[in-house]
Amino acid sequence: MKNIKNIASLLLMMVFMSSCILEDEEPEYDVVGAVGTIATLTASNTNPEVGQTVTFTMTIYSEHENATELRMNRLVSGTPTPISTRTFTNWNKEDSYVESFQYEIPEGTAGTTLTMQFVLVTESNYTTSRNISVNVRP
């Protein structure tokens, strides 16, 4: 019986000692060139007709560094063509933001797939991007 008590005492001491080793503080480090995140990206219509307006909505955040702008590009043969840019002057690293862009489907795109690219830029000029495609009805 005494051995069981000793073993139980040893086990409890090990549990308490191991919990003391863990610290509640995060390690100190400097974030160099933080990248934001485009968490979600949706289109109001993924099968529009020429002349229709499609609304692209995304949830974005940048928790280590302020985001400075959000760009909407159209990818043509893999090359981005700028469509619109939204600039941020006040950024709260604690929050996420929902942003929307509208794009009118241009003439001459019937029967094609349009790929739109959204690029989030931080103060260090680091970028993250996400693409979405819409199939234009013939």
- Answer yes or no: pTM beyond 0.95: no
Q: pLDDT (tens digit, 9 = 90+) per residue, 84-121? A: 999 999 988 889 999 999 999 999 999 999 999 999 99
**Which domains occur in the chain, in start order?**
37-135 (2.60.40.770)
Q: pLDDT tens for residues 25-70?
A: 666 655 555 789 999 999 999 999 999 999 999 999 999 899 999 9
Q: How high is the pLDDT of residue 7? A: 76
pLDDT of 12 over the 60 cut: yes
Predicted local confidence at residue 81, as pLDDT: 96
Give the pLDDT confidence score for residue 6 in this predicted structure: 72
Check residues 55 and 77 and name the one with the higher pLDDT: 55
Averaged over 7-32, what is the pLDDT? 62
Q: Scan for tokens 């019986």, then name that residue.
A: 1
Instruction: Please give the Cα distance from 85 to 62 (Å, whole number).
Output: 17
More confident residue, 10 or 91: 91
